[in-house]
Amino acid sequence: MSNYAIKISDVSMVFDLHKENISSLKEMIIKRLKGQLQTEKFYALQNISLTIEKGEVAGILGFNGAGKSTLLKTIAGVLVPSTGKIETQGKIAPLIELGAGFDMELTARENIFLNGAILGYSRRFIQNKFDEIIDFAEIHDFLDVPLKNYSSGMIARIGFSIATVVKPDILIVDEILSVGDYKFQMKCEERIRTMIGDDTTVIMVSHSIEQIRTMCTKAFLLQQGRLIAQGEAAEICDIYMNSN
Ligand SMILES: Nc1ncnc2c1ncn2[C@@H]1O[C@H](COP(=O)(O)OP(=O)(O)OP(=O)(O)O)[C@@H](O)[C@H]1O
Ligand SMILES: [Mg+2]
């Protein structure tokens, strides 16, 4: 049976903490003198296995640092897991890091083409969809302003608008909705609901338990890189709220 959209099998993500931190020879020598140079393995994800069926809306819950973004990045292919296997079926639209795929020196107009190209759309396709993209993002007055002068919410609007102009098979959303204002959040939610009705599989991280409770069919709870509970969204939200 291959009715899954996302299948994660025994995935671990290990970071080498000390190696990452050393920025100079001097620092390395000091660390060595202090005996801090041993490599310390840090498991951001540890032996995660889970399956998300096609058309499901899955929420990922967990405290700061639990591994939620790391998990979404491995699904999106931004990070390669240290061990384990990730299988996905269909076209993925990742809304993960604000500004990833954007060049802050370029204008919004230029960035729409740039980001579209990164997502694999042709220039002609973006041209045809251009008005639709800026209408949804509501950025008509700022099209030729460099992105560095945009607010984070405005950048999120463009990102969401581009990523969802085509119906993806899998939509990955990390927090990004929370930087938009209330009105835009509602608009995004509505668009996500339409996609869900159209059978798009969604995996989302949100610190809004209400959002997970009302939008998701299923939820997963991460704690320090481990998957500690999964099930019906409402039930997992309750477990999360009572955990510490
Ligand atoms: N590139 C990296 N190098 C080293 N450690 C990392 C790296 N990326 C993430 N981590 C660590 O992995 C852990 C999980 O991070 P992650 O960003 O997945 O957490 P999160 O659940 O998304 O948290 P938040 O709710 O704050 O967004 C954290 O302790 C983080 O410091
Ligand atoms: Mg995160």
DSSP assignment string, 15-61: EEHHHHH--SHHHHHHHHHTT--S--EEEEEEEEEEEEETT-EEEEE
Q: Which CATH class for the 4-31+40-241 domain? A: alpha beta
CA-wise closest residue to 158 among 112, 95, 206, 105: 112
The model's pLDDT over 54-89, given as tens digits with 9 standing for 90+, comes to 999 999 999 999 999 999 999 999 899 999 999 999
CA separation for the pair 193, 202 (Å, rounded): 10
Ligand 1 atom, smallest distance to 66 CA: 21
Cβ–ligand 1 contact at 19 (below 6 Å)? no
Residues 84 and 98: beta-carbon distance below 8 Å? no
The model's pLDDT over 114-139, given as tens digits with 9 standing for 90+, comes to 988 887 889 999 999 999 999 999 99
CA separation for the pair 94, 97 (Å, rounded): 9
Q: 58: CA distance to ligand 2 center in Å? A: 16
Domain limits, the chain: 4-31+40-241
Cβ–ligand 1 contact at 45 (below 6 Å)? no
Average pLDDT, integer, range 186-192: 88
pTM for the predicted model, two decimal places: 0.85
Whole-number percent of the chain with pLDDT over 70: 95
The model's pLDDT over 160-179, given as tens digits with 9 standing for 90+, comes to 898 888 888 999 999 877 77
Mean pLDDT across the chain:
90
Confidence of residue 4 (pLDDT cuts 50, 70, 90): very high
Q: 65: CA distance to ligand 2 center in Å? A: 7
CA separation for the pair 193, 186 (Å, rounded): 10
Judge whether residue 207 has pLDDT over 60: yes
Confidence of residue 98 (pLDDT cuts 50, 70, 90): low
Residues 26 and 108: beta-carbon distance below 8 Å? no
